[in-house]
Amino acid sequence: MENFTVVFDTNSYRDLFDRTGSPQKPTVSQIRSNEQSRNIVSLANWYVLQELASHLQDPTEPRSYRQCASAVSAMFHHCRSGTEDKVRWCADSESQMATYLYGICKDNRAAYEMCQTLLEVVASSWPNELPPFVADFAKRSADFLDAAEKAFIDDMQRGKFKRDPQKVARHYVAGVRASIGKSPLDYNDPEMAQDATDVLNAFGPQIELFAKLCGNLATGAGDMTKQKKPNLMWDMKILAGIGHEIETIGRLHLVTGDKEMRKASTAVGLVQYIHSLDEYLALIGL
SS3 per-residue string spanning 147-181: HHHHHHHHHHHHCCCCCCHHHHHHHHHHHHHHHCC
Burial readout 48-86 (b: 16 or more C-beta within 10 A, e: otherwise): bbbbbbbbbbeeeeeebbbbbbbbbbbbbbbbbeeeeee
> What does pTM read for this prediction?
0.90
Strand, coil or helix: 25? coil
For residues 20 and 17, what is the distance between their CA atoms, to the nearest angstrom?
A: 8
> What local confidence, expressed as pLDDT, does residue 162 receive?
57
At 250, give phi and psi (nearest 5°): 155, 170
Q: Is the peptide bond before 127 cis (omega within 30 degrees of 0)?
A: yes
| pLDDT for 227 | 47
CA distance 149 to 111: 19
Tens-level pLDDT at each residue, the chain (286 residues): 788 999 999 999 999 999 888 999 999 999 999 999 999 999 999 999 999 999 999 999 878 999 999 999 999 999 998 777 899 999 888 899 999 999 988 778 899 999 999 999 999 999 999 999 999 999 999 999 999 888 877 776 666 455 678 888 888 899 899 989 999 889 889 999 999 999 988 898 988 888 777 766 544 545 545 545 557 778 888 998 899 887 667 899 999 999 989 998 998 899 999 999 999 999 999 9
Boundaries of every domain in the chain = 4-283
